[in-house]
């Protein structure tokens, strides 16, 4: 979707491919036309991010397929009367707010396993405010219940279904969106060294310098959603990581001291329809 042709000012090359293996000084990639090509490196930055259910992140490999995915989802919402959103984190809240504010004639239900929106990590004041906003948009909120997924799954979520929660609530819907279950894309790092992956989180272990946490791989960095840095996973943080990584590669080349990444305060933006909530933990809460 985002063209990369202006990425490098002085040389550089973009390879549109899937990295299948990471070795200590090369990666192996599959392109559309060639499998198993090797690309050698002196320094490597791994930024493979995380996978989410559609529509949060798409699975298409090309712009055309991606646009087709979005159109199918948009049309399904347009034609639906009842929309079910499973998961009341930032993604589910934003999606419910968007749909309910555009289509006031549709029934939007949001099921969340916790007793309130978001989790206990977030201040209660924020979840109360978001609950009030969704209530005003007539979003039906069901807290403390979990949807039981049929063994065959829910397909693309674009067909009518009746689902049940663990507490026996039955919910009819024409369209379903799964808004939980982000998974870090760290499988490929296991091809380099399985011990680099945290067992419980499947995040990659990094040093404060964002080098992989193993002295054999001082020339390999990781950034963004895949890292085990203790902070919420956000795009702007990936950008902050990138600044540290870029500095540190130059420092390694010049034999200088490396910089460390220090997580800043927690910040979150949650748009509900046309209202945007900005929350900076321990500081202030504003809506625009």
Ligand X SMILES: Cc1cc2nc3c(=O)[nH]c(=O)nc-3n(C[C@H](O)[C@H](O)[C@H](O)COP(=O)(O)OP(=O)(O)OC[C@H]3O[C@@H](n4cnc5c(N)ncnc54)[C@H](O)[C@@H]3O)c2cc1C
Name the residues that contact ligand X, by CB under 6 A: 18-19, 47-50, 52, 56-57, 91, 185, 188, 224-225, 233-236, 238, 269
Q: How far apart are CA 279 and CA 126, in angstroms?
A: 8
Determine contact, residues 191/179, Cβ cutoff 8 Å: no
Q: How far is the CB of 186 from ligand X (least distance, A)?
A: 9
Q: Which is nearer to ligand X, 235 or 284 (CB)?
A: 235
A 10 A CB-CB count for 206 gives: 23
Q: How far is the CB of 56 from ligand X (least distance, A)?
A: 4
Q: Which is nearer to ligand X, 165 or 182 (CB)?
A: 182
Q: Which is nearer to ligand X, 109 or 245 (CB)?
A: 245
Q: How far is the CB of 182 from ligand X (least distance, A)?
A: 7
CA pseudo-torsion sign 225, 58, 40, 235: negative
Q: Which is nearer to ligand X, 129 or 226 (CB)?
A: 226
Cα distances from 196 to residues 23, 42, 205, 216, 220, in angstroms, run 13, 19, 6, 11, 12
Q: How far apart are CA 286 and CA 288, in angstroms?
A: 7
Token look-up 């219940």 returns 145
Q: How far is the CB of 269 from ligand X (least distance, A)?
A: 5
Q: Which is nearer to ligand X, 129 or 179 (CB)?
A: 179
Q: How far is the CB of 14 from ligand X (least distance, A)?
A: 11
């Amino acid at each position: 979707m985002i063209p990369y042709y202006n990425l490098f000012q002085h040389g550089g090359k973009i390879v549109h491919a899937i990295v299948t293996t990471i070795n200590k000084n090369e990666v192996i990639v599959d392109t559309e036309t060639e499998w198993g090509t090797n690309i050698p490196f002196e320094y490597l930055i791994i930024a493979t991010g995380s996978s989410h259910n559609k529509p949060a992140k798409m699975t298409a490999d090309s712009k055309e397929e991606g646009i087709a995915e979005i159109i199918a989802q948009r049309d399904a919402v347009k034609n639906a009367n009842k929309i079910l959103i499973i998961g009341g984190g930032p993604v589910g809240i934003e999606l419910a707010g968007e749909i309910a504010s555009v289509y006031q004639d549709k029934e939007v239900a949001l099921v969340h396993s916790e007793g309130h929106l978001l989790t206990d990590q977030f201040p209660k004041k924020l979840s109360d405010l978001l609950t009030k906003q969704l209530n005003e948009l007539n979003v039906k909120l069901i807290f403390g219940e979990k949807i039981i997924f049929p063994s065959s799954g829910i397909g693309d979520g674009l067909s009518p279904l009746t689902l049940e929660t663990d507490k026996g609530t039955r919910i009819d819907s024409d369209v379903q969106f799964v808004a939980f279950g982000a998974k870090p894309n760290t499988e490929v790092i296991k091809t380099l060294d399985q011990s680099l992956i945290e067992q419980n989180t499947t995040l990659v272990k990094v040093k404060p310098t964002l080098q992989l946490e193993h002295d054999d791989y001082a020339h390999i960095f990781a950034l963004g959603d895949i890292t085990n840095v203790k902070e919420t996973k956000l795009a702007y943080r990936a950008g902050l990581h990138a600044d540290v990584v870029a500095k540190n590669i130059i420092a390694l080349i010049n034999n200088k001291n490396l910089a460390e990444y220090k997580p800043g305060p927690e910040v979150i933006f949650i748009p509900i329809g046309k209202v945007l909530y900005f929350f900076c933990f321990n500081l202030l809460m504003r809506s625009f």
